[in-house]
C-alpha cells in the first residue's frame, strides 16, 4: 500500500540464496506498491550481535558491577546508546511493518539476527514493564517472520519428528515481538528449498509475491497459546 514503511531485517550470507531471492522480490513488490522499503542486511553490515559495554557511550550507570539490561535501559533514556543501535531503532520507529527474512537455525533465528533482537529491542525503546504485549512500546506496528527450513513440511507437521512448526515460533513471535507490542502476521514458510525441484522453488517465490500484494488487508494472528498449541 502506497506510503507504508517497511523494514526488512535480513540474515543470509549469500545474495544468490533462496533467502536472498525472497528478500529481493519483497523489496521489488513492496516498492512497486509505493511502499518505502529499508533493508538491514546484517551480514553485509557486519552487524555486531554481542551485548557488551561498547553499546553504552560514556559513563556507566554502575561502573562497579556491569548489568547489561540496566545499562542499556539507562543509556536508552539518556540517549547514550551506540550509534549502530540508534540507527536500527530509528528504522524500527519509522516502520509500519518489520519483515524478518532468515534461514531457520536450530529452531530459531541465526545468531546475528538474535543479536539484532537482543541489542535493538532495548527496554525503554521496545518495552518497559508493564508496557508490554498489547501496551508494548512498538504497538501499532506489525511483524512477520519469513523463513526457510532444512526440514520438509511433513517433518514440521503435528506428529512429525520435529513437531508442529508453530511450537518453535512461540519464543520469537510471542516472547519477543508480541512482548514488544508488535501484532504478528502469519509466518511465511518455505520448506526445504534445498531439497525440492526448481519449479517448486519458483512456486514458493511466486506465492510470496502474491501474498505481498494483499498483505495490508491481512488481520494479525491471535498470538496466544491457542494459536501455537491447539
Ligand atoms: P539455499 O541453499 O541458498 O537455496 C536453496 C536453493 O534455492 C539453491 O539451490 C539456490 O540456488 C536456489 N535458489 C535461490 N534463488 C532462487 C530463485 N530465484 N529461483 C529458484 N531457485 C533459487 N533447518 C531446520 O529445518 N531446522 C533447524 O533447526 C535448522 N538449523 C540449522 C542450523 C544451522 C547452523 C544451519 C547452517 C542450518 C540449519 N537448518 C535447519 C537448515 C537451514 O534452515 C536451511 O539450510 C536453509 O533454510 C535453506 O535456505 P537457504 O536460503 O540457505 O537455501
Ligand atoms: Zn503473543
Per-residue pLDDT of 57-76, as tens digits, reads 999 999 999 999 999 999 99
Mean pLDDT of the 192-207 span: 98
What is the reported pLDDT for 229? 92
Q: Which domains does the chain have, with CATH numbers?
A: 5-229 (3.40.50.360)
End-to-end CA distance of the chain: 33
What is the reported pLDDT for 230? 83
pTM passes above 0.95: yes
What is the reported pLDDT for 90? 98
Q: Which ligand is nearest to the CA of 174?
A: 2
Ligand 1 contacts CB of residue 101 (under 6 A): no
Cβ atoms within 10 Å of 182's Cβ, excluding its own: 26
Q: Whose CA is nearest to atom 7 of ligand 1?
A: 18
Cis-peptide, bond into residue 57, ω within 30° of zero: no
What is the reported pLDDT for 33? 96
Rounded to the nearest 10 degrees, how much is the dihedral formed by the CA atoms of 31, 209, 142, 7?
Answer: -40
CA distance 215 to 26: 11
Instruction: Give me the residue label for grid cell 508490554.
Output: 132
Evaluate if residue 2 carries a pLDDT over 90.
Answer: no
Q: Whose CA is nearest to atom 14 of ligand 1?
A: 18
Return the closest-CA partner of residue 35 out of 221, 217, 219, 216.
216
Q: Which of 13, 18, 166, 207 is the pocket-test mutation for ligand 1 (most atoms within 8 Å of CB)?
A: 18
- SS3 track for the chain: CCCCEEEEEECCCCCCCHHHHHHHHHHHHHHHCCCEEEEEECCCCCCCCCCCHHHECCCCCCCCCCCHHHHHHHHHHCCCECHHHHHHHHHHHHCCEEEEEEECECCECCHHHHHHHHHHCCECCCEECCECHHHCCCCCCEEEEEEECCCCCCCCCCCCCCCCHHHHHHHHHHHHHHCCCCEECCCEEECCCCCCCHHHHHHHHHHHHHHHHCHHHCCCCCCCHHHHHC
Q: Whose CA is nearest to atom 27 of ligand 1?
A: 106
Amino acid at each position: 500500500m502506497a506510503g507504508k514503511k517497511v523494514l526488512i531485517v535480513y540474515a543470509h550470507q549469500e545474495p544468490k540464496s533462496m533467502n536472498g531471492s525472497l528478500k529481493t522480490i519483497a523489496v521489488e513488490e513492496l516498492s512497486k506498491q509505493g511502499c518505502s522499503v529499508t533493508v538491514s542486511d546484517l551480514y553485509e553490515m557486519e552487524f555486531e550481535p554481542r551485548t557488551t559495554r561498547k553499546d553504552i557511550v560514556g559513563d556507566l550507570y554502575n561502573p562497579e558491577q556491569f548489568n547489561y539490561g540496566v545499562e542499556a535501559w539507562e543509556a536508552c533514556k539518556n540517549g547514550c546508546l551506540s550509534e549502530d543501535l540508534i540507527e536500527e531503532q530509528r528504522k524500527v520507529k519509522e516502520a509500519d511493518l518489520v519483515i524478518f527474512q532468515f534461514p531457520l537455525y536450530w529452531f530459531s533465528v541465526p545468531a546475528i539476527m538474535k543479536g539484532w533482537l537482543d541489542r535493538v529491542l532495548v527496554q525503554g525503546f521496545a518495552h518497559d514493564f508493564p508496557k508490554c504485549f498489547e501496551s508494548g512500546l512498538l504497538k501499532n506496528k506489525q511483524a512477520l517472520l519469513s523463513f526457510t527450513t532444512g526440514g520438509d513440511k511433513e517433518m514440521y507437521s503435528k506428529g512429525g519428528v520435529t513437531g508442529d512448526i508453530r511450537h518453535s515460533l512461540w519464543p520469537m513471535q510471542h516472547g519477543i515481538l508480541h512482548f514488544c507490542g508488535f501484532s504478528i502476521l502469519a509466518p511465511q514458510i518455505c520448506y526445504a528449498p534445498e531439497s525440492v525441484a526448481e519449479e517448486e522453488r519458483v512456486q514458493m517465490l511466486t506465492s510470496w509475491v502474491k501474498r505481498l500484494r494483499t498483505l495490508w488487508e491481512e488481520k494479525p494472528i491471535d498470538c496466544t497459546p491457542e494459536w501455537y498449541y491447539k
